[in-house]
């Protein structure tokens, strides 16, 4: 059962099968995440301060974490739109209309489309290609 689910997720990722997420009155077609989107999300999240389990959850602490809410809005816009132009055009609209249900849908979409097996396989493949290129360059340098 688990293998079939992983296989289906990988198939959906490769075939770029997305889904519609309604934000406000607009239905937005959200595609699976790409490696570039994951890198951009990492850049946004990198600057956030760490929240510890011992931090008291009181109003003043919540307001200190406003940058986390802004970063969440940025992350969701990046995950919904691959194009920087679409992010500029619709990013403000999306951020203003984010409610808890929309955030849950977007996070579920990100979780479902971030296929670890696919990205791991792609990373291993690219490392193998790099190694092969380096070996070929060494052979050329030694032979010539």
Burial class (CB in 10 A: 0-12, 13-18, 19+), 138: exposed
With 0.85 as the threshold, say if the pTM is over it.
Answer: no
- Structure-token pair, residue 59: 């109003």
pLDDT at 89: 93
pLDDT digits (tens, 9 = 90+) for 9-26: 666 656 667 789 898 898
Share of the chain above pLDDT 70, in %: 61
pLDDT at 17: 73
Please provide the average confidence, as pLDDT, over all residues in the chain. 76
- Residue count (the chain): 144
Burial class (CB in 10 A: 0-12, 13-18, 19+), 100: exposed
**What's the average model confidence in pLDDT over 25-44?**
83
Q: Long-range contact list for 11-15, CB < 8 A, 24+ apart?
A: 12/113, 12/115, 13/113, 13/115, 13/118, 14/118
Higher-pLDDT residue of 73, 56: 73
pLDDT digits (tens, 9 = 90+) for 38-47: 778 878 777 6
| Domain ranges, ordered by start, for the chain | 2-113, 116-144
């Amino acid at each position: 059962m688990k293998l079939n689910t992983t296989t289906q997720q990988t198939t959906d990722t490769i075939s770029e099968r997305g889904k519609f997420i309604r934000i406000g009155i607009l239905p937005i077609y959200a595609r699976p995440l790409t490696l570039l989107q994951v890198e951009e999300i990492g850049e946004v999240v990198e600057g956030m301060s760490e929240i510890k389990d011992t931090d008291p959850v009181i109003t003043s602490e919540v307001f200190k974490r406003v940058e986390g809410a802004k970063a969440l809005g940025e992350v969701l816009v990046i995950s919904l739109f691959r194009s920087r132009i679409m992010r500029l055009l619709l990013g403000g609209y999306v951020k203003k209309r984010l409610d808890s249900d929309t955030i849950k849908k977007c996070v579920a979409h990100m979780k479902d489309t971030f296929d670890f097996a696919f990205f791991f396989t792609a990373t291993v493949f690219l490392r193998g290609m790099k190694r092969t290129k380096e070996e070929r360059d060494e052979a050329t340098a030694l032979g010539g």
